Structure 1
Amino acid sequence: MLRAIVFDLDDTLVDQAGAARRAVVGWAAEHGITGDVEARWGAVSGPHYQRYQRREISFQEQRRARTREFLGIEFDDAEADALFAGYLTRYEALWVAFDDAVPTLRRVRAAGLRTVVLTNGDDDHQRLKLDLTGLANEVDLHVSTSTLPASKPDPRAYRLTCERAGIAPGEALMVGNSLAHDVLGPLEAGLAAVLLDRHDAHLEAAVRRISTLHDLHW
């Protein structure tokens, strides 16, 4: 019997990518960087954030690495932190939940199911995101893998989240935008899973797929 739906946060409930793209434009201009800064920031950010997810560097260290590579100057830690703060202020101000997020979370609760968020992001950072986007009061349990011994898509991340929720993996459904992190990993761990494919990037994927949370059924 289904008892909880576990949602990814970034680009599932919150438009993280959109906020990042808009924030970097103003920040780059402030430092005289022109051209396709959105693509450049994405190319710089991805590898360093993946290193953080693999536990190779800390959350703060990945921020510093992204800042140094993007601006092309070797700053000390304090300088890198101060420079990144200029981006971060813009980024946090642009966080917004997708229009289908709150109605879906409320629909899940109305069905008698628990709403759980499982994210690979830093715990404090993601809790702030839930607060600023108005989602905190719609979520029964938030789990950041920074508080776990493993990150998505390691099966332990999903099983430990279910343990915290007081349910068995077979009593949970995971929903998210990453095929690897939010579908294949959960399936391996014993959860059901649905891919949220807002931009039709995985039309050929042989998994349960929806393009909006309004289409989520269980």
Structure 2
Amino acid sequence: MPPLMLFDLDNTLVDRNRAFRSWALAFLSQRSLPPADLDWLVTLDCGGYLDRQILMHAACERYGLGDCVEVLLKEYRQTLTGLIELPASHRAALADARAAGWTIGIVSNGATAHQLAKIERTGLADLVDGWVISEEAGYAKPDPRIFRLAARRCGAAGTPDWSADAWMVGDHAPADIVGARVCGLRSVWLDHGRPWPETDYYPTLTAGTLPDAVRLILAATGALVPPRTPGTGQHPAPPYAPLRAPNASEHCFSVNFAGVQRGCTNATSGHRH
């Protein structure tokens, strides 16, 4: 069975924070509000983890807006989805993984309609084998069940040891890296220039960008990417390249479950919006 590469959606496959900044600039400009308040909105956003109702209520209170919060929320969701893009380098990285014989899936925490709209708008629906979104699944990362469901939907959970040939790539430690660990997957954390925030658990590998993460996984597993066919930009279909056995350093850490959800408590739900 081909190996499995699972990806988080927001700030992993797509740059959700960049889209939010674009929305925030338009929000301020359309209402003749101070452009310098962009930093206030970005801080309040909490990388998408603050509930949108709270964000809109705070904005209405700060600026004395008479807009209905529900109207603002509808406008926000429609506008943000339209601003989400899949970078060409990410599209090429997924093509490289596919060319090396990997099955590809998405595991996302969030509202089904909102996340599915991003997957469809960016063309990701045609680039992956399957996806799962926490709202429709009924459980969210780091729950191992959402990873197993993703594997089944990708057709990659046909054997009891499917996780031995699976990796998870994501930017949020409590959801993506903990989830991979408790499900028996290897992982790549996208640091986006940040230091690793935890002491109780660690990712298998760390990368600065999604293309770097894919390259690291392919290199670590001995997978070879065939050259693209001249004039087409496409790869010929390769034979399946089996994974090497993980070395001791990849599984030498333990998880302190008492601290696992530190980054997803109080105002932050663990779901991006």
TM range (shorter): 0.7 to 0.9
| Counterpart pick for 1:110 among 79, 95, 99 | 99
Aligned positions of 1:17-32 closer than 5 A: 17-32=17-32
Q: Which has the larger radius of gyration?
A: 2
Deviation at 1:152, TM superposition (A): 1.3
Stretch moving more, 63-72 or 40-49: 40-49
Is 1:72 equivalent to 2:61 in the alignment?
Answer: yes
Stretch moving more, 86-95 or 22-31: 86-95
Report the equivalent of 1:210.
207
Moved over 4 A (4+): 73-76, 203-206
Give the Cα–Cα distance (whole angstroms) in 1 for the partners of residues 42 and 175 of structure 2.
Answer: 19
Does the CA contact (< 8 Å) of 2:131 and 2:153 recur in 1? no
CA displacement, residues 97-117 of structure 1 (integer Å, 9 cap, x when unaligned): 133211111112112221100
Deviation at 1:184, TM superposition (A): 2.5
Residues matched between the structures, number: 205
SS of 2:105's equivalent? strand
Seen in structure 2, the aligned counterparts of structure 1 residues 181 and 47 have a Cα distance that, compared at 3 Å, is same
| Counterpart pick for 1:200 among 193, 199, 224 | 193
Deviation at 1:181, TM superposition (A): 1.8
What one-letter code is carried by the residue in structure 2 that aligns with 1:96?
E
What one-letter code is carried by the residue in structure 2 that aligns with 1:161?
A
What one-letter code is carried by the residue in structure 2 that aligns with 1:44?
L
CA displacement, residues 162-200 of structure 1 (integer Å, 9 cap, x when unaligned): 343341333321011122222222112211111122x32
Report the equivalent of 2:109.
120
Does the CA contact (< 8 Å) of 1:150 and 1:157 recur in 2? yes
**Structure 2-normalised TM-score?**
0.65
Stretch moving more, 96-105 or 148-157: 148-157
Cα RMSD after superposing both structures: 2.8
SS of 2:168's equivalent? strand
The runs of 5 or more residues in structure 1 that have no matched partner are 51-61
Does the CA contact (< 8 Å) of 2:77 and 2:114 recur in 1? no
SS of 1:187's equivalent? helix
Does the CA contact (< 8 Å) of 1:158 and 1:169 recur in 2? no
SS of 1:195's equivalent? strand
Does the CA contact (< 8 Å) of 1:8 and 1:182 recur in 2? yes
Report the equivalent of 1:99.
88
Q: State, as a whole percentage, how many aligned pairs show the same letter.
A: 28
Give the Cα–Cα distance (whole angstroms) in 1 for the partners of residues 41 and 29 of structure 2.
Answer: 13
What one-letter code is carried by the residue in structure 2 that aligns with 1:26?
A
